[in-house]
Structure 1
Amino acid sequence: MKRLIALALTMFMIISGCSKGGTQTSGGNVAEVQEYRTVYSGEITTLNYLVTSTTNEFALAANLVDTLIDYDKYGVPQPCLATEWEVSEDGLVWTFKLREDVKWVTHEGEEYAEVTAQDFVDAMKYILNPSNGSGTANIAYSVLKNAEEYYNGEITDFDQVGVKAVDKYTLQYTLKEPTPYFLSMLTYVCFFPANGQFLEEVGDKFGTDNVNFLYNGAYIMEIFEPQNRRVLIANDSYWDKENVHIKKLVQTYNKEAATLAPELFLRGEVDYATISSDILDEWMSDPEKEAMVRPNRTSFYSYFYCFNFDPRFPEEYEPDNWKVVVNNKNFRKSLFHALDRKAAMLTAEPYDPEKRLSNTITPKNFVDLNGVDYTQLKSLAKFANTDSFNEKLALEYKEKALQELEGKAKFPVKILMPYNTGVSDWANRAQVIEQQMENLLGTDYIDIIIDPKPPTGFLQEVRRSGNYAFLECNWGPDYADPETYTDPFSPDGTYNWPHLAEGYKEANGKNTYENMVNEAKAERLDIEKRYKLFAEAEAFFIEEAFVIPYAVGGGGYSASRLNPFESLYSPFGVSGERFKGQKVLAKPMNSQEFTEALEQWEKERAEALKKAANQ
């Protein structure tokens, strides 16, 4: 066996860019009462972190349950529930030594059990039981030996799956193939622990409320009243409680949260508010308000517009007609080149829209190959360096589509485009896109129908139900490899429609994109070859206009009593969602303070990564 820490830390030097994280200390600007209050409009549907795949749900879980490793303020992996780890010479067996005397406690803070290696085994057994409906099982079985076979019922003995408790404090994972990014997967929810005895006791009630839940993380959910409020309090039994400075998190539900939060912030009733583009000018022109506003950091969430190849929306929106036109490449290309992404982004980022725009699905600065950014590899570079908006091409593809679809489709094509009313700039963006694309392509060609939907249940009602034709979607990375941005487009992924596109099936029964991705996945040792294969697959996906890449997440502006540079930093997993290490500020950070802090953080991070690589 060889120690992995130096290898793992070296790997993280490939991750760069801006996301959550930071370094600055609050100095004397610390609130006397360490309580952080927010309002929200999108209610969670479960606390069961073993089944969820949605950001707002695993963001909660991140503060309630700890993971094997974590990341510090600079993105360097750190011990958490595991104090050390090793990997075998062949890269297949990973062994973790657990921290002793870590406690599971109830919602009342009463000790239930000690956290042991078996908790990780029991959690994985739950995840790999298809009847439990885990939304992240595919991530786990993509790497663990025999996990997919067990999930599919091809084997029934769980002992054959590559996870076992060697002893009380020793956990071992065996992989199906060498996976250089495995460590970076361990802060994702499918690798969280769960106490097996408790799972058996509560059964289907696990995660339905704060009572049917165990805590080993920084916080306990004291109060859980859906569509009213959630209150998290610091866990007195937490192993690292000296680094938990905020003692209470109060999250209040209000369906108008996005609209009301700025005023509530001014009144001192909440400690965070998004300052949306429609009020940003007003805040920036008022000296008192301007002193409270700062930019947000961009993230590695990728935003793109999806074409739905499996329409399941009401007949009034003509799903059968949509299915005909969406399977015409020239029709998709006409929309691909007609979307003015900068005009759309101005609804969210009026001062600096370019910093958010992205021409690829995998964002720039996510990983690199020997100093060359992944997005500059092979054919992907053409898309990365070219704005997809092109009026001349849009009209040329429109004419080609009209010729090919004559007598086969009805025009204008109804294009159902829902949006989430809980995101203030999304409504504005939907209107901008409707007007801009219809003006360019003509209302004789397309009729974009914008459809407001409530934030609670939006994913289930719209995206997962196929209740859209054209939709703004997003995906965040789960680990440090380009493969993570292909996961949603696999046949069993979140956006599982690309394999339904007509005209791409190859001899093995799978479509071209799936075969290209599978070839890239199969290359486990030659990283250069692996990355180039993924780049070619992504370039094909964009070339065929299965999606329209749009932007990266984050950005915008906020008024906040948190210093983002005190937060844990990681482009993937849940570390960046944790409040551990942060302090509530006495007064908000302004834009100048943010810029100075960001510059200092970037310098310190470069030094931290260099130091980690040399360990």
Structure 2
Amino acid sequence: MKRNKMLLLLALSLVLSVVLAACGGKDKTEEKDATPNKESDKGTEQKEEAGEPDAEQVLNLIESAAIPSVDSAIVEDAVGFNVLNNVNEGLYRLNLENVAEPAMAAEEAEVSEDGLTYTFKLRDAKWSDGTDVTAHDFVFAWQRAIDPATGSPYGPFMMSGVIENATAISEEKMDKSELGVVAEDDKTLVVTLERPVPYFLSLMSFGTFYPQNEAFVTAKGDAYATNSDNLLYNGPFVLTEWDGTGDSWVYKKNEQYWDAENVKLDTINVDVVKDSATAIKLYNDGKKDRAGVSGDLALQYSTHAEAIVQPETSVFYFKFNQEKDGKETPLANVNIRKAIAKSFQKEDLADVILANGSIPANFLVPTDFAFDESGKDFRDISGDLLVYDAEEAKEYWQKGLDELGVTELELEILGGDTELSKKMDEYFKAQLEGNLEGLSIKLKEVPFSVRLDLDTNQQYDIQVSGWGPDFQDPISFLDLFVTDGTNNLMSYSNPEYDALIESSKDELALDPAARYDAFAKAEKILIEDDAAIAPIYQRGLLQLQKPYFKGLAVHPFGADYSYKWAYISGKE
């Protein structure tokens, strides 16, 4: 959910995740003006729930990784955005139908005729310590997220080119106080945009735009958000029993939450479990109420009475790092990149290794996600790109080796430390070495937090990376790879690509057909022409879920899950 949703899902081949892009989302965030049509039904498994809460309202869940951060200015991963989404709340929140609706905002925003000014009236709401949530809390949080001194990975990414003066502030050309967000009074927040943004209300449900209490953050200083006691909450739950590093935490119902009467769960106990077999055992032993299934176990459990196939809008791909320590890498050669991108078979990976509803991806923008005005899927507009072809891969490989003046290369794949990640990496190694003579692949399998750090510092060759969308628009994916983008982190640059993305935000912002055409051209440049990334798969999740666990909101963008409406009913 989320960088995501680095699922901002960055490198989130942690398919056992139970939110990202988001992330970021990663998402890994939908507004009423966008097409809630197909996407509202896509991948959510939202069906009418029967029964009322009739048992102890305690839920026991599994997460795929520890929490790196719950500071809304710093969060950049799926787990962090999941937690943030359930303990805090912004102006808008995604509902059960994945439509963004007023949350801290008391009513729908008032929008100026030119689409540049949004006025939000805040409802009466309190922080978990009993103090009021005010418009000033949003101003402080947003200014903190865009301030270069904060080092926010998402602030500049989400605000630049959107909120007035955000770009200049992120480039240290203006002070953060010049950001286009003003508290006219405690209950009135006015936001001025740089240009019309079709998906702006969607953004208002995303974690980076949550409020922060300035007095509390200032008082805590460097200790802020380092554990559950050093955080304030304005969402459905409060976080407890999190020491900042541990593999377990607890959500407790937030009695100060403005809509507490509609929050049914009292307690959610969460443990990090990276191994699918262990997760399933805990589920079968009645210790967990939901568990992800992958690999060989996915084949075994696909017909289980309590199995749920959950399609997702998260896409995974190889990132090719073109520069390390100030020097070009062999991956700066486009033919080497194309060779690797076309040399591994995606169908077998999806059907046999993953076996969880994931599908092969020959694209970046996912299928069943973004639709034009006529309801046509963006994938039908853009088509397949950089498909598997071992013979073509060999030709590109030899051409690239000749250009580099070498006969062999050793490259490292950076991946995760979960059971599934390791199986995937072994598959990639076998495929690439088997098809590309002279290539030697080393595998580096590290915890998620370590991968985030290596990615940030561009200390990798090839990385298994992923993105979950933060809102329902192709630019949630395509904006990742503009020159010097905060989530590029692989030294990719193409002026034509940059110009197309910029045009979608500027002169084409209010021309949907031309805007989608620009997106299609940009995706082709990124993947087919430059092979800057190599798409792998669009994720699906196979979950086991107890029949008494009802009301879970599963989001196809932004954070993955909301527990606000979840409850226990019919448990023996």
TM-based fold match above 0.5: yes
Q: Given that residues 412 and 443 in structure 2 are in contact (C-alpha distance below 8 angstroms), is that contact kept between their aligned partners in structure 1?
A: yes
Quote the residue 1:161 is aligned against: 179
Q: Which residue is equivalent to 1:243?
A: 262
Alignment of 1:241-390 (within 5 A): 241-253=260-272, 256-283=274-301, 290-295=304-309, 297-311=310-324, 323-350=328-355, 356-371=359-374, 372-377=376-381, 380-381=382-383, 383=385, 388-390=387-389
For residues 336 and 74 of structure 1, the distance between their equivalents in structure 2, rounded to whole angstroms, comes to 37
Contact 1:12 1:75 (C-alpha < 8 Å) held by counterparts: no
- Distance in 2 separating the partners of 1:16 and 1:266: 32
SS at match of 1:50: coil
Q: CA deviation at 1:36?
A: 1.4
The residue that corresponds to 2:123 in the other structure is 99
Identity %: 25
CA distance in 2, matches of 1:459, 1:382: 29
> What displacement does 1:337 show?
1.4
Where in structure 2 are the equivalents of 1:448-487 lying within 5 Å? 448-460=441-453, 462-487=454-479
Partner Cα distance (1:284, 1:127) in 2: 43
Alignment of 1:572-587 (within 5 A): 572-574=557-559, 576-584=560-568, 586=570
Residues 1:556 and 1:494: Cα distance change in structure 2 (over 3 Å): same
Query: In the alignment, which residue of structure 2 is the partner of 1:419?
Result: 415
The 1:38–1:499 alpha-carbon spacing in structure 2 relative to 1, beyond 3 Å, is same
Deviation of 1:578 (Å): 1.5
Aligned to 1:497: 490
Matched, 1:435 2:433: no
Contact 1:121 1:165 in 2 (8 A): yes
- The letter for the 2-side match of 1:558 is Q
Size of the aligned set, in residue pairs, is 536
Runs of 5+ unmatched residues, structure 2 = 1-29
Q: Is the 8 A contact 1:41 1:258 kept in 2?
A: no
Larger radius of gyration: 1
- Matching residue's letter, 1:475: W
How far apart are 1:571 and its partner, in Å?
3.1
Matches within 5 A, 1:196-235: 196-225=214-243, 226-235=245-254
Is the contact between residue 40 and residue 99 of structure 2 (CA under 8 Å) also seen in structure 1?
Answer: no
Pairwise CA distance, 1:570: 4.1
Distance between the aligned counterparts of 2:196 and 2:93, measured in 1?
22
Q: SS of 2:182's equivalent?
A: strand
Alpha-carbon separation, structure 1, partners of 2:59 and 2:506: 46
Distance 1:58 1:68 in 2: 16
Q: Deviations 1:130-180 (Å, cap 9, x if unpaired)?
A: 11111111112331111222333322371x321111222111111011111
Shift of 1:129: 1.6
Quote the residue 2:26 is aligned against.
none
Report the alpha carbon displacement of residue 556 of structure 1 after superposing the two structures with TM: 3.3
Measure, in 2, the Cα distance between the counterparts of 1:242 and 1:580. Answer: 10
Seen in structure 2, the aligned counterparts of structure 1 residues 525 and 439 have a Cα distance that, compared at 3 Å, is: same
Task: Give the 3-state SS of the residue equivalent to 1:389 in structure 2.
Answer: coil
Match of 2:152 in 1: 134
Cα separation, 2, equivalents of 1:8 and 1:283: 36
Equivalent position amino acid for 1:221 in 2: L
The verdict on how the C-alpha distance between 1:352 and 1:95 changes in structure 2, with shifts beyond 3 A counting, is closer
Give 1:418 shift.
Answer: 2.3
SS in 2 for 1:449: strand
Q: Secondary structure at the match of 2:342?
A: helix
**1:9 to 1:565, Cα distance in 2 relative to 1, 3 A:** farther
Q: In the alignment, which residue of structure 1 is the partner of 2:141?
A: 123
Q: Structure 2: how far apart are the matches of 1:152 and 1:200? A: 24
Q: From 181, 184, 189, give the equivalent of 2:207.
A: 189
Mapped partners of 1:455, 1:157: distance in 2: 31
Candidates 527, 533, 542, aligned match of 1:547: 533
> 2:293·2:542 contact (CA, 8 Å) conserved in 1?
yes
Other structure's SS at 1:338 match: coil
Looking at structure 2, the residues matched to 162 and 562 of structure 1 have their Cα atoms a distance apart, in angstroms, of: 47
Cα distance in 2 between the residues matched to 1:150 and 1:187: 23
Long gaps (5+) in structure 1: 1-6, 313-318, 505-510, 589-615
Question: Partners in 1 of 2:42 and 2:222 — Cα distance?
Answer: 36
TM superposition shift of 1:92 = 0.5
Match of 2:439 in 1: 446
2:395 maps to amino acid: E
1:567 aligns to 2:535 (yes or no): no
Q: Distance in 2 between matches of 1:73 and 1:239?
A: 18
Shift of 1:22: 5.1
CA distance in 2, matches of 1:115, 1:437: 54
Partner Cα separation in structure 1 for residue 561 and residue 357 of structure 2 = 25
Alpha carbons 2:199, 2:471 under 8 Å: kept: yes
**Contact 2:479–2:501, Cα closer than 8 Å, also in 1:** no
Q: CA deviation at 1:283?
A: 4.0
Q: Is the 8 A contact 1:303 1:552 kept in 2?
A: yes
Q: Residue 192 of structure 2 aligns to which amino acid in structure 1?
A: T
Change in CA separation of 1:376 and 1:346 when aligned onto 2, cut-off 3 Å: closer
The residue identity in structure 1 corresponding to 2:504 is A
* Equivalent AA in structure 2 for residue 150 of structure 1: I
* Separation in structure 2 between the aligned mates of residue 373 and residue 211 of structure 1, nearest angstrom: 45
Shift of 1:587: 6.4
Give me the CA root mean square deviation. 2.6
Match of 2:105 in 1: 82
Alignment partner for residue 35 of structure 1, among 58, 64, 77? Answer: 58
2:548/2:571 contact within 8 Å kept:
no
Distance change in 2, residues 1:135/1:192 (3 Å): same
Amino acid at match of 1:49: S
C-alpha change, 1:8 and 1:338, in structure 2 (3 Å) is closer
The one-letter amino acid paired with 1:89 is E
Evaluate the alpha carbon distance shift between residue 25 and residue 284 of structure 1 in structure 2; reply closer, same or farther with a 3 A threshold. Answer: closer
TM-score relative to the length of structure 2:
0.87
Letter in 1 for 2:116: L
Per the alignment, residue 25 of structure 2 pairs with: none
